[in-house]
Amino acid sequence: MSFPEFYEIEVLKQLFDFSAEFSVAQSENYIVWYIIFWIVKENRGHIVSLAVDEEYKRQRIGSKLINTAIATFLKFNIFNVTLELRTENKGALDFYQLIDFKLDRTVSNYYEDDTDVFKMSFNFSDLKEDSKI
């Protein structure tokens, strides 16, 4: 696998039990991109994780993955989307801000390894005419 982090099988089973959506692509037995998202409440969607292998970046795959999630959310009349992002992941921060996600706040020691995260959100009513989504 091309990503340094992975989800334990029990976590993936829980996400599946909560009706999370998974979209994954592989090449030669390696995962090259994926997205996991779900509807948290009747009015909010959540991007659990999105990753694109370095070799496949700059091909708008991340935007296509986000659009897949958004299409699903809209089908269920979900207009608010949230996600968490490790603060050291500047490339992902730039990507999400480019597609109009807002940085809401920083949460210290969010993960088990005490990593800090940015809480980000997107509301379809905030969508700009020149949005990259």
Helix residue spans in the chain (DSSP H): 9-17, 61-75, 90-98
Q: Give average pLDDT by consecutive 10-residue segment, the chain, 133 residues.
A: 56 64 76 84 86 83 88 89 93 91 94 90 72 58
Confidence (pLDDT) at 12? 60
Residue 46 burial by Cβ neighbours in a 10 Å radius (0-12, 13-18, 19+): buried
Q: Is residue 130 part of a domain?
A: no
CB atoms within 10 A of CB 15: 18
The C-alpha atoms of residue 39 and residue 45 are separated, in whole angstroms, by 4
Query: Which one, of 45, 47, 44, lies nearest residue 34 by Cα?
Result: 47
pTM of the entire predicted model: 0.78
The C-alpha atoms of residue 68 and residue 81 are separated, in whole angstroms, by 13
Spell out the residues 6+ positions from residue 119 whose beta carbon is closer than 8 angstroms to its own: 82, 83, 84, 103, 104, 105, 106, 107
Q: Is residue 2 part of a domain?
A: no
Q: Is residue 1 part of a domain?
A: no
Q: Is residue 117 part of a domain?
A: yes
Range of the domain at 121: 9-125
Q: Is residue 22 part of a domain?
A: yes
Q: Is residue 133 part of a domain?
A: no
Count of structural domains within the chain: 1
Query: Which one, of 66, 84, 85, lies nearest residue 127 by Cα?
Result: 66
Spell out the residues 6+ positions from residue 73 whose beta carbon is closer than 8 angstroms to its own: 37, 39, 45, 79, 81
Q: Is residue 98 part of a domain?
A: yes
The C-alpha atoms of residue 79 and residue 86 are separated, in whole angstroms, by 24
Q: Is residue 3 part of a domain?
A: no
**Which CATH number covers residue 25?**
3.40.630.30
